[in-house]
Structure 1
Amino acid sequence: MRVRLAEPKDTVSIAAIYNQRIEERSSTFETAPRSPADMLDRINAMERYPVLVMVDEADQVFGWAGLSSYRGRACYDGIADFSIYLDRSVRGQGLGKQLLQTLLTEAEARGFWKVLSRIFTFNHASLALCEACGFRQVGVYEKHACLEGRWLDCAIVERLFPVNQPV
């Protein structure tokens, strides 16, 4: 498997992988399936916020990861939220680490000083992946949102990069 920047042709696969997690109610508060057009909006923002895909030798997409804006204020321009999703057929094979490490390399190269996310506290695989990639858990948002009548807590994870510029 290799990782590359996403292209418009990947939107069908990206949406399908994301929709698996929406259906499973294990990784996102979203409940409505996403369309390829929805995912194209993310890809179109790649100048600042890259979307990467993990593909096999035939260029079939098996996972994706992306950065998005943390907050709209200028003081937060160097912070990005991240998302990562793998097709259920390849989960548990260590591929997430390769994909997330590549995303982190891309984030640092684009000048971000911090990457963070919120992860359901029961999503042990994602929490372990983040720890393996150098993230630290900095807290828990209790009752962060309600998903189908259930209040869910989210662990807050962050990964800092060295800042070489004076403030």
Structure 2
Amino acid sequence: MMRAADWSEINDIYQEGIDTGTASFRTPDISWKDWDSSHLKTCRFVSLQGKEIVGWCALLPVIANYDVGGVGEIEVYVKQGYKGQGIGSALLNALIIESEKKGIWMLQAGIFLQNSASLKIYEKAGFRVVGYREKIGKAKGVWQDNLLMERRNKLIA
């Protein structure tokens, strides 16, 4: 489980993802307080190798008035040097299991088209493409297209 004390390591991994230009439209320099208040309080996990955090995942509410019974937008980030080892898949699967237990009825993710590794991980986890968003935002000054993917809660459906 993620703790406030983990923020420095989590933020470093988050920044690495932002720096790629293919993972997030968000800007750097967010505080723990702002990050914590913008994410659901449940379904927050870190992946450890020894005592080092090498990945994390969490959910954002899609619409402000949704609660944990609603829709969550997924964030999964893996530290450089640890990609391709199944960490992202393990975090995503843990998040799916916990979100289903919490009654979240749909998970969604916007994946940059260039991020083929993430697309494969999400498809393997049962997500389907439900939309294509052209030039939805800029990352590192470049307009990006992404695919909107979703997965419905199998326990509720």
Whether these two folds match at TM > 0.5 is: yes
**Aligned residue in 1 for 2:70:** 78
**Is 2:46 the partner of 1:53?**
yes
TM-score, length-scaled by structure 2: 0.88
The alpha-carbon distance between structure 1 residues 31 and 40, as it changes in their structure 2 partners (threshold 3 A), is: closer
Q: How many residues align?
A: 157
Q: For 1:4-62, what per-residue CA distance to the aligned partner results, in whole angstroms no more than 9, with x for missing partners?
A: x101111111000000011121201123333445444467x51xx43110112x33211
Shift of 1:90: 0.5
| Bigger Cα Rg | 1
**Aligned residue in 2 for 1:23:** 19
**Is 2:119 the partner of 1:127?**
yes
Distance (Å, rounded) in 2 between the aligned partners of 1:19 and 1:87: 10
Contact 1:67 1:81 in 2 (8 A): yes
The alpha-carbon distance between structure 1 residues 153 and 76, as it changes in their structure 2 partners (threshold 3 A), is: farther
Contact 1:81 1:115 in 2 (8 A): yes
* Amino acid in structure 2 at the alignment position of 1:98: A
**Is 2:98 the partner of 1:102?**
no
The percent identity for this pair of structures is 29
2:106 to 102, 109, 114: 114
Greater length-normalized contact order (CA 8 Å, ≥ 6 residues apart)? 2
Q: CA RMSD of the aligned region, Å?
A: 2.3
**Higher deviation after alignment, 32-41 or 126-135:** 32-41
In structure 2, the gaps of 5 or more residues are none
